[in-house]
Structure 1
Amino acid sequence: MLRILDARTGAPVPAAPARRGGLARIEVRAPGPDLTSLRVLLTADLLARALELNGAQAWPTLATTLPGELRAAADALAVRPFEEARGLAWGTGVPDAVLVVAEGEGAAWPGAGPVLVVAPVVWTGRTPGAGEAGPAPLSALLADPAALRLALLCVPREETARLDEAAVGAAAGRLAGWRGAVAGWARSPSRPVPEAVRARLAAAWEDDLDMLEVLDVLADVEADPEVPDGARFETFAYADRLLALDLARDLGTLA
């Protein structure tokens, strides 16, 4: 069962209805346009993907109209489109909707469902095109959207993410290495995801969306000589249903 830390109570609570296949509504408040709002959208996207992997039906909705720049950045980061919630009564038919908000929005949260709070993102590098430190427009940070997504996944949601060119560059290097490895493993006969690995992955995302542990599981699978290449491929493909890093992008590019 996927459990999240509810900011209302400080306690972990289920993120979906008890009935398997039940509808889990997610409401997102991300006014933006900035990196923090982008991280809020990314968190809601991860929650929806994790719920679906666990057999629930996720219904992500927006409580705010997204600025065009923020919507474009979310699309670039493979955040799936959310339904506009305007005109929808809060909790109609789904009284336990999860509200996903940025840290510092105050405690005047609508509804009675759990609240998932996302810490801010601070860009500490040079502003692209300006040559100086300071806030950067989202469009200037999207040269490699998947690397930015991975860089955000590498910081626990409850911690402020301080990003710069080095952090995004490191994520890009890690991503390139994994994509190359996945393309190589795809040339071997397919093997199922090892049950112990599948259980570790599920335990990680079910524990308040612990993305760091998900990434650690993948690193362990990559390094474990006992895991067949075909099983490595299937493991990374399975995890990418949650991570959305396009890990199989380079299939067929190896000589």
Structure 2
Amino acid sequence: MLRIVEELAGPGPLRICAHAPADGAAGTGLRVLLIADVLARVVEMRGRAVLIGWAGPHDKAAAAAAGIRPPDAEGDPQEIAEALGGLPGVQLTTGTYEGAGSACLQIGEAQLPPFEGLDLLAVRLLLLSHPYEEPVSVTAEQVGEAGRAMARWRRAVADWAEQPSKPIPADLKSTARTALDNRLDTAAVLRLLHDLATADDVPQGAKFETMAYLDRILGLELVREVGISGGSTPGT
């Protein structure tokens, strides 16, 4: 997928336009912005600058709580193109993009509970656990479970940070990169991290470095308890 993006996007910064649905479906709109954020993180880790525009209705407060970077431009597609200094090379929509010269990622609908009082980083985890093109429905109970799982991971990462640093296993890094390059497959990356967390044959210092590295893409704040005592290894 990223290979196609690079071919169509041209030189210079990668310009991305995220189209939230016009009907104001908040969950789906948040998911569109989230996938644009993750795509930007992947491209930036490859050493290329990214500019993002948001079109359509969106909830800035919810996006910020979900760890989504703010846009570089907002408005209709023409206004975004002018503000970003060129036509976006990638369009993220919930339908079919009719314009020419752009890669298009079609994002599946997301049914979410009301945002008020919700742990939106846990929502981020749940959304990234599914292929971006598939519809997903999330309950408040699932959000609570995801929040508890992230808490366990964060405590474990804090523990692993106290151990001698070890390199990221080359096979894990290659597997994650292939998953992201081919399909922006965050679900595969999360499965990899789940297996890593419970692996007995990987040094804890390598677990920390791998988690920290891949969380730069996932954006789940897995390292935020580093330096705080009281960690423990996660079960799931």
TM-score > 0.5, shorter chain as reference: yes
Kept in 1, the 8 Å contact 2:53–2:84? The answer is: no
Q: What is the CA-CA distance between 1:184 and the residue it aligns to?
A: 0.6
Query: Match for 1:74: what amino acid?
Result: A
Q: What is the CA-CA distance between 1:94 and the residue it aligns to?
A: 5.0
- Structure holding more helix per residue: 2
Query: Match for 2:110: what amino acid?
Result: V
Q: Which runs of 5+ in 2 are unaligned?
A: 231-236
Kept in 1, the 8 Å contact 2:97–2:104? The answer is: no
Q: What is the CA-CA distance between 1:233 and the residue it aligns to?
A: 0.4
Kept in 1, the 8 Å contact 2:9–2:15? The answer is: no
Aligned to 2:139: 164
Match for residue 43 of structure 2 among 51, 56, 80: 51
Cα distance in 2, alignment partners of residues 35 and 88 from structure 1: 23
Deviations 1:111-133 (A, max 9, x none): 4201111010124xxxxxxxxxx
The structure-2 alpha-carbon separation of the partners of 1:143 and 1:232, relative to structure 1 and needing over 3 Å to count, comes to same
Instruction: Report how many aligned residue pairs link the two structures.
Output: 225
Cα distance in 1, alignment partners of residues 84 and 68 from structure 2: 25
Q: What is the CA-CA distance between 1:63 and the residue it aligns to?
A: 3.0
Matches within 5 A, 1:1-255: 3=1, 14-17=4-7, 22-30=12-20, 31=22, 32=24, 34-64=26-56, 66-67=57-58, 70-86=59-75, 87-89=79-81, 94=86, 97-102=89-94, 105=95, 107=96, 109-123=98-112, 136-138=113-115, 140=116, 142-255=117-230
Q: What is the CA-CA distance between 1:144 and the residue it aligns to?
A: 1.3
Deviations 1:72-105 (A, max 9, x none): 1000001001112543547986556100112xx4
Cα distance in 2, alignment partners of residues 84 and 90 from structure 1: 9
* TM-score normalised by length of structure 2: 0.86
Q: Which runs of 5+ in 1 are unaligned?
A: 5-12, 124-135
Cα distance in 2, alignment partners of residues 122 and 18 from structure 1: 31
The structure-2 alpha-carbon separation of the partners of 1:21 and 1:108, relative to structure 1 and needing over 3 Å to count, comes to closer
Kept in 2, the 8 Å contact 1:16–1:22? The answer is: no
Kept in 2, the 8 Å contact 1:119–1:158? The answer is: yes
Query: Match for 1:78: what amino acid?
Result: G
Query: Match for 2:72: what amino acid?
Result: E
Aligned to 1:133: none
Q: Percent identity?
A: 34
Cα distance in 1, alignment partners of residues 83 and 99 from structure 2: 10
